[in-house]
Amino acid sequence: MRRSKVLEERRRRVSPEARESVAMSFRIVDRIHDILDEKGLKQKDLALLLGKSEAEISKWMRGTHNFTIDTLMGIETALDAPILEVYHHPAEQMEMA
């Protein structure tokens, strides 16, 4: 398959930060798919649990959705499973207390 020189040039210009952001979105979607599979659920079930349309959930699950913390927390609650884990340095925990 021949690759377009124009597309290849555009890909080279994408910042490492943007690449990582897209990669993280795909990891989040993969995790949600894994949870759904483990629980024998479909995207349609997730839509019902969240009170969202199937179309909206489908859009989220394409991997390009910019999930908010509130959305992720809602999904975690609806599926009763963690999606993201956040680790803190012990000094940061002291500052937060």
15-37 confidence digits (pLDDT tens): 989 888 888 999 999 999 999 99
pTM score, whole prediction: 0.77
45-94 confidence digits (pLDDT tens): 999 999 999 999 999 999 888 899 999 999 999 999 999 888 766 765 55
Of the candidates 87, 79, 83, 75, which has an alpha carbon nearest to the alpha carbon of residue 24? 83
The amino acid at 83: I
